[in-house]
Amino acid sequence: MKSRNYAAIAAADRIFLLVVYAAAVLFVLLVAMLFVELVHGSWPSIQAFKLKFLWTSEWNPVTGQFGALPLIYGTIVSSLIAIVLAGVVGILAAAYLAEFAPLWIARPLGFIIELLAAVPSVVFGLWGLFVLAPFVRNALGPFLQKTLGFLPIFQGTISGVGMLTAGLILALMVLPTVTAISREVIVAIGSDLREASMSLGATKWETVARVVLPASRVGIFGAIVLALGRALGETIATTMVIGNRPEIATSLFAPSYTLASVIANEFSEANGAVYISALIELGLLLFIVSFIVNAMARLLLWAVLRERH
Amino acid sequence: MRKTFTFAFVALFVTIVPALAATQLTGAGSTWDYPYFSKAFYEYSKSHGDVQVNYQSIGSGGGIAQFTQRTVDFGATDVPMNAGEIKAAEASGGPVLQAPVVLGGVSVIYNVPGIASGLHLTPGVLANIFLGKIANWNDPQIVKLNAGTKLPNTPIVVVHRSDGSGTTYIFTDYLSSVSADWKSKVGTGKSVTWPAPSAIGGKGSEGLAGQVSNNPGAIGYVELAYAIQNKIPQATLQNAAGKYISDAPGGVRAAAASKPELTPTNFSIVNAKCATCYPIAGYSWVVVYQNPQDKSKAKTLQEILTWLTGGDAQKIAGSLDYVPLPENVQQIAHNTLAKMHV
């Protein structure tokens, strides 16, 4: 047998370890550098407006007054609408796929839902502009106003684009995330829980509703938080259907604006140090919020999924 | 196997290097100029095979930034560089030259059910619509201007550009010059705060036109070329002399001719005073260093920019529904470019 050069193998192993460590550390360094660059870029704006940037409402490039409150509001509300709608539909769809669907339906259906995640954002935006916006203006909007018009959120002019349309588009975009992860989490629940429930006389539906779903609620919550992270940062699809008006309005039909949309719209033509740094500060805000939301989601999911039997 | 690979690599290298020997010029900036630049530079490369121009339409702000950092040979901007931007550029690469390169107009488009192109609007009424003071199409102020037309009882939806845009600049410049109210409340800019309560924003000319066509009762503004090419109903505007201008391209030409003393600091041609002048028109500018850093490309750069602002190239602009630069403005551009140290 040919003798092996153990010294050379050990050295090669060490080098390999170094390389993979470096790759991981490099990534962390890049993210840290991104954060540092964002702070550096937004420094003129931070100096000019300090904390009141977060609660002033005026976004006026002509006078140089910038306040992010309507943008923060628009981002949060449109994302909330998205995860409420996607959450309800997604959890039910995941429960169906995991528990009730026969295999010959579950596989292709699951595949198609996940394919929705492959549709480019700008395609969603175009569809939203040319199909969903007219639908909201001509059908959904008037219907909601007729039946629920006593609520202030459904009053006001319906122009097709606005908070509601943006929320609907975002819901469609994050639906695959919610469904896929919720399905994984539900499947990860041990069969002993289900069997115990059924052996006590519960029906399939009772088992799912009262045992399986509550047991998987931490993981499902993680899926929804991940979806929230995606919805917060969505740019192109939102900017095409949200109406682009930096104003806080009570009606869901009114146009609004998000952090990502402002940056996408105004960055290329922005001139003046304060204007550009105000836009970069919006990017910094978005970065921090998305980072925190995603980190929370990942930790939750990691805690749940590693306990799979 | 290895020999074939090496041979292929060397062969590729040998064929690419001569291609790289062709003069490569880069420019960046305004999206408004992009249709013209892309066709013009293509035509130029056909007749001057060793020159290639790569133009990135990233927006005027981006163009100025790249130009200041000297990553491109020339920049293109809808609004000439202001004093602050010029100072920054001068610190970077020395004196800056700005020449007019494209002329165009801004058209007011609308979508009113039953009304075709040609609705009459005066400056005051237009400003009031965009200020939100006139909220319905059958408002007496609009009806008075259009005696024979039956205007419906439809609310007006104001549509504007959500992205920063030279078109917005020219349009708001015009509204500021015809309405003191607009000037004090809103002002002029590539991005402004739109006062009308109904206002919604569309991204790009396509976005704005799309919102107008999807919303009955909408009114907006796009480049004249865009409105003509896409056959969108346009308003017939009244100019400063009180005349309604239906030949917009001719009116833009007249407006340009009305300001022979064009300079980068005195460049506004909105609300021009002559009888046939179209009220909303403006230039786009190309910026270049007087002492280009790369001496080997300086002569080619001067030649191509001089050609771009000359009669032959401007005919190409005309074919794309821009308005060709008038002779005297071409001369102004050529005089400016002649100052380059080549």
Q: Is B210 on the interface with A (CB under 8 A)?
A: yes
Q: Is B111 on the interface with A (CB under 8 A)?
A: no
Q: What is the domain count for chain A?
A: 1
- Residues of A whose CB is below 8 A from B188: 62
**DSSP codes, B121-132:** E-HHHHHHHHHT
What are A234's two structure tokens? 């969505």
CATH number, domain of A256, equals: 1.10.3720.10
pLDDT digits 0-9 by tens, B22-50: 789 999 998 888 889 999 999 999 988 88
- B17: closest CA of chain A, how far (Å): 34
pLDDT digits 0-9 by tens, B173-213: 999 999 999 999 999 988 899 999 889 998 888 889 989 98
Residue contact B200–A243, C-beta within 8 A: yes
Q: Is A58 on the interface with B (CB under 8 A)?
A: yes
Q: Is A134 on the interface with B (CB under 8 A)?
A: yes
pLDDT digits 0-9 by tens, A15-74: 999 999 999 999 999 999 999 999 999 999 999 988 899 999 889 888 888 999 999 999
Residue contact B61–A271, C-beta within 8 A: yes
- A114: closest CA of chain B, how far (Å): 29
Only one residue has tokens 């060490």, namely: A14
Q: Is B237 on the interface with A (CB under 8 A)?
A: no
Which chain B residue has the Cα nearest residue A163?
B200
Only one residue has tokens 């000319």, namely: B205
The answer as to whether A252 is a domain residue is yes
pLDDT higher than 70, residue B19: no
The count of residues in chain B is 342
Q: Is the dihedral of CA B115, B120, B125, B131 positive or negative?
A: positive
Closest among B209, B217, B199 to B106, alpha carbons compared: B209
The answer as to whether A176 is a domain residue is yes
Residue contact A246–B202, C-beta within 8 A: no
Only one residue has tokens 């917005």, namely: B168
Q: Is B198 on the interface with A (CB under 8 A)?
A: yes
Cα–Cα distance for residue pair A185/A207, rounded to 1 Å: 16
pLDDT higher than 60, residue B18: no
pLDDT higher than 50, residue A309: no
Cα–Cα–Cα angle for B156, B158, B164, nearest 5°?
175
Q: Is A261 on the interface with B (CB under 8 A)?
A: yes
pLDDT higher than 70, residue B20: no
The answer as to whether A292 is a domain residue is yes
The answer as to whether A230 is a domain residue is yes
Percent of chain A with pLDDT over 90: 54
pLDDT higher than 90, residue B60: no
pLDDT of B21: 58
A160 or B20: which leads in pLDDT: A160
Please compute the mean of the pLDDT values over residues A97-124 and round it to a whole number. Answer: 89
Please compute the mean of the pLDDT values over residues A120-147 and round it to a whole number. Answer: 92
Q: Is B192 on the interface with A (CB under 8 A)?
A: yes
Contact assessment for residue B202 and residue B161, using Cβ atoms and an 8 Å cutoff: yes
The answer as to whether A34 is a domain residue is no
| Domain boundaries, position A246 | 49-306
Strand B218-223 to strand B157-161: parallel, antiparallel, or no bridges (unpaired)?
Answer: parallel
pLDDT of B14: 63
The answer as to whether A188 is a domain residue is yes
pLDDT higher than 70, residue B17: no
Cα–Cα–Cα angle for B336, B341, B342, nearest 5°?
115
pLDDT digits 0-9 by tens, B203-255: 888 889 989 988 899 999 999 988 998 899 999 999 999 999 988 899 999 99
- Residues of A whose CB is below 8 A from B194: 245
The answer as to whether A28 is a domain residue is no
pLDDT digits 0-9 by tens, B101-157: 999 999 999 999 988 898 999 999 999 999 999 999 999 999 999 988 899 999 999
Please compute the mean of the pLDDT values over residues A225-250 and round it to a whole number. Answer: 91
- A265: closest CA of chain B, how far (Å): 4
pTM over 0.80: yes
* A160 vs B58, B82, B214: nearest CB: B214
Residue contact B207–A240, C-beta within 8 A: yes
